[in-house]
Amino acid sequence: MPLPTRTLKRGRLRAIVLLLVAAVIGACSGVRPAATPPTTAAAATRGSGGINQPGHRDKPHVVLVSFDGFRADYLETFDLPSFRRVKQRGAAARTMRPVFPSLTFPNHYSLVTGLRPERHGIVGNSFYDPVRGQSYALSDRDAVGDGTWYRGEPIWVTAERQGMVAACFFWPGSEAAIGGIRPTYWKPYDGEIPNDDRVKAVLEWLRLPDERRPHLITLYFSELDSASHRSPLGSPAVGQALQSLDRTLGVLLDGIDALAIRDQVYLVLTSDHGMVETATSQAIALDSLIDTTDVRMGFGGPVASLHVAGGSTGATLVRNQINSRLQRGRAYLRREVPARFHYRADPRIGDVVVVMDEGWTLHASPPEARPDRPRWGMHGWDPVLPSMAALFLIAGPGVRAGVTIPAIDNVDVYPLLTELLGLRAPADLDGQPGRIHRQVMR
C-alpha cells in the first residue's frame, strides 16, 4: 500500500536533516561520514527487479560467508578439514584486522560497505543517537529493519542498483531497505534455522536460471560466537561448534562442486572478530567510578560509550574522574580517541569513550557471578590484539592456490567484492581498491 503523501514528505525531510547533520559533523571532525543513499520511493525502482541485466549474466558469482567469532588462529589450532580444503584451493590472509570496536554489527557492516563505523554509523551492537534522540540495538527488530540508521552502500545495494540480483541469508543490515533498496532475496534473522537449511537455500539460489540467479550471496553462521559467549574458549562446546561448522562448510563445498556453474563461483570466508576470555571478576561497574546521574551509557563492555550532560565541561570532568580511578582501561573525550581507531566523527560514539584493557569490561551493571560459568569468551577490544584477529579465505576462478598473504583490513573486502563482480564501487571508501585483489589473484 502506498504511503500517504504527508508521510512521504516527513520521510524526505527527516533524511535531509540527517544528511545536513552528518555534513556538519564531518566538517568539525575532519572526517566525513558516508552519505546516506536516497530513501525515496523512486530509489527502490533502481533495484534489479529480480532480473539480472544481460551484461551481468556471464559474470562470476560470489558467496560471502561469515563465521561469527572465528579467530584467525583457529585454522591452525583445530583440525578443520573443510576449511583446510578451501585454504588449499585458494588464498588465506595471515589475519584480518577488524574495525574498532571489534563487535559484530560494526564489523559485518564494514565488511560489506568498505567504511569504518564512524562513517557508516553502526558504531556498536547497540548505541544511542543524540541527534535522533533514539537508540539502536541488534535485538530491536524495528531498529534493525529501519534503513535510515545505516549510511554507506552495502554490496547487495551496489549490485541491485546496477541491475545485478543479490541474495542475503542473514547479514547485519540486510533486513533494511537501505537507500530504498533491498536484496532480491533476503531472510529476517532467525537463529533457530538449522545451518544445513541455510546452505540448502544458497545452493537452490545458485541453481536458478541465469536471468534470476543471484551473483552476490551472503551467508551467516552464529553457532561459534554463541558457544564462545557461553563457555571458556578451551571448552568442548567451542570445539564442537567449530567441528559442526566445518561439516556445514563441507556440505556447501560439495554442493558448489556439483553445480553446472562451479567454475564461476568465488567462495569468500570471513569472520567479524576474534575472541578472548573474560570473567565476572574482570567486570567493573561504572557507578563505582563516577556519579552516573548525568551520564547515559550508550553501550558498555570492552568499550563503553558515555553521553554526558553539561557539554564539554561535563564530559571532561567525567573523563578525568574515570581516569583517576580506573586501572584497567582509559577514558577519552571523543576527539581524543586514538587516531588509529578511526572512531571520532559520529556523535553516536558518545562524548566520552572508555577503552578497556584486554579481558576487562565496563558495565552499568556487571554480570552476576555464576559458579557454572567462571569464564567465557568476549570481543570488542583493540583490533591489533592477536585475540581479535579474524578469518579470511578465498577460493575461485583465478585465485592463487595455497598461498598465504600478509594481514589485511576488513574494509578492503568490499572493494574486492566489487572487483570480482565487475561492479562500480562508490567513491571515497575507507577500503582501498585492488589491495587484496592483486595479492590473491593470478
CB atoms within 10 A of CB 379: 29
- Closest by CA to 61, choosing from 393, 391, 392, 397, is 397
Buried b (16+ CB within 10 A) or exposed e, 224-253: bbbbbeebbbebebbbebbeebbebbbebb
Q: Which residues are catalytic?
A: 104
Cβ atoms of 99 and 413 within 8 Å: the answer is no
Q: Which amino acid is at 436?
A: I
Kindly give, in sequence order, each residue whose CB lies less than 8 Å from that of residue 330, ignoring residues fewer than 6 positions away. Answer: 323, 354, 355
3-class secondary-structure state, position 71: strand
Q: Are strands 295-299 and 303-308 parallel, antiparallel or unpaired?
A: antiparallel
Q: Which amino acid is at 85?
A: R
Kindly give, in sequence order, each residue whose CB lies less than 8 Å from that of residue 372, ignoring residues fewer than 6 positions away. Answer: none
152/108 Cα distance (integer angstroms):
13
Nearest-10 Cα torsion for 410, 28, 121, 47: -90
312/240 Cα distance (integer angstroms):
49
CA distances from 203 to 8, 44, 115, 399 (A): 38, 27, 30, 22
How many residues are present in the chain? 442
As beta bridge partners, residue 181 has 178
Strands (DSSP E) along 231-372, which ranges? 265-270, 276-278, 283-285, 295-299, 303-308, 329-333, 352-356, 361-363
Cβ atoms of 35 and 26 within 8 Å: the answer is no
